[in-house]
């Protein structure tokens, strides 16, 4: 078994950026917020959108939590990008993948 690395917690006050992104066949709009460490490294993600209380919104929120935890434990975005499900044309299949691609492409 390997040694567990430490989680890098974010400061209570931090810089954040919010933007909208559309994804899916119905062109569903999602609001995405990135939270940053003091050194401007990405450390957390929030995703909301779709119909409040819907399964899609829950999946988006849960995916953002998992992305945030992975980033806080130092998982490289390239590793995450290589692990997400993609369509045959290489585009991301889910909103989580679309957000990961947005991170990687700035």
- Residue 105 CA to residue 3 CA, distance in Å, equals 31
Q: What is the pLDDT of residue 1?
A: 47
Question: Which pLDDT value is given to residue 106?
Answer: 62
Q: For 12-56, write each residue's pLDDT tens digit.
A: 889 999 999 988 777 789 999 999 999 999 999 999 986 777 888
The string of pLDDT tens digits covering residues 58-84 is 999 999 999 999 999 999 999 999 999
Please tell me the number of Cα atoms within 13 Å of 36 on its side-chain side: 9
Where do the domains of the chain lie?
A: 16-105
């Amino acid at each position: 078994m390997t040694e567990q690395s430490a989680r890098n917690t974010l400061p209570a006050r931090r810089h954040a950026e919010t933007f909208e992104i559309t994804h899916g066949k119905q062109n569903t709009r999602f609001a995405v917020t990135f939270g940053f460490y003091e050194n401007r490294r990405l450390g957390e993600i929030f995703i909301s959108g779709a119909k409040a209380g819907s399964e899609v919104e829950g999946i988006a929120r849960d995916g953002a939590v998992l992305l945030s935890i992975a980033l806080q434990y130092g998982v490289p975005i390239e590793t995450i990008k290589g692990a997400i499900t993609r369509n045959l044309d290489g585009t991301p299949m889910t909103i989580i993948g679309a957000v990961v691609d947005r991170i990687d492409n700035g």
